[in-house]
């Protein structure tokens, strides 16, 4: 599970970026193993990032990578928050954590009324595409 203390994570990022990167990557991989949405976001973030480093610039590169990692993590969390809002799910745990302070494990999609603007921006285009594809398959059958 993700570290609930962002201050501690930021301190570690400043003190030991390589260890912090490994910790965050391990936590993300652990969450992705049980959360298909996180797995998709992690795959997108990983494929979008280049990882060529030079030994002479390793210290600089590690600080830069730590900054990139913070940015990737923030973007992934923003994507998950937007999707949770669009689907009416708990952004903290998606209903997977009975100890969640926000939903007590009940925050699956549909738990709350979906955010209409987010739904229209994120989910509706996929539904339209699915509908067109379904109709096209029906005509070809």
Using one digit for the tens of pLDDT, what is the confidence trace for 14-58? 777 777 777 777 777 777 788 777 777 777 776 665 445 455 567
Residue 81 has phi, psi (to 5 degrees) of -60, -45
52-106 pLDDT, tens digit each: 545 556 777 788 888 888 999 999 999 999 999 999 999 999 999 999 999 999 9
Q: In whole angstroms, what is the distance from residue 116 CA to residue 107 CA?
A: 18
Q: In whole angstroms, what is the distance from residue 72 CA to residue 42 CA?
A: 9
Q: In whole angstroms, what is the distance from residue 132 CA to residue 138 CA?
A: 10
pTM for the model: 0.54
Q: In whole angstroms, what is the distance from residue 11 CA to residue 8 CA?
A: 5
């Amino acid at each position: 599970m993700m570290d609930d203390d962002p201050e501690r994570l930021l301190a570690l990022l400043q003190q030991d970026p390589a260890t912090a990167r490994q910790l965050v990557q391990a936590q993300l991989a652990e969450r992705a193993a049980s959360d298909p949405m996180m797995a998709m976001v992690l795959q997108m973030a990983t494929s979008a990032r280049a990882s060529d480093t030079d030994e002479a610039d390793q210290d600089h590169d590690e600080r830069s990578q730590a900054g990139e990692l913070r940015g990737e993590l923030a973007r992934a969390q923003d994507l998950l928050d937007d999707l949770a809002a669009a689907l009416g799910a708990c952004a903290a745990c998606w209903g997977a954590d009975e100890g969640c302070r926000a939903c007590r494990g009940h925050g699956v999609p549909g738990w709350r009324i979906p955010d209409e603007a987010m739904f229209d921006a994120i989910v509706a285009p996929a539904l339209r595409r699915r509908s067109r594809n379904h109709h096209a398959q029906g005509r070809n059958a």
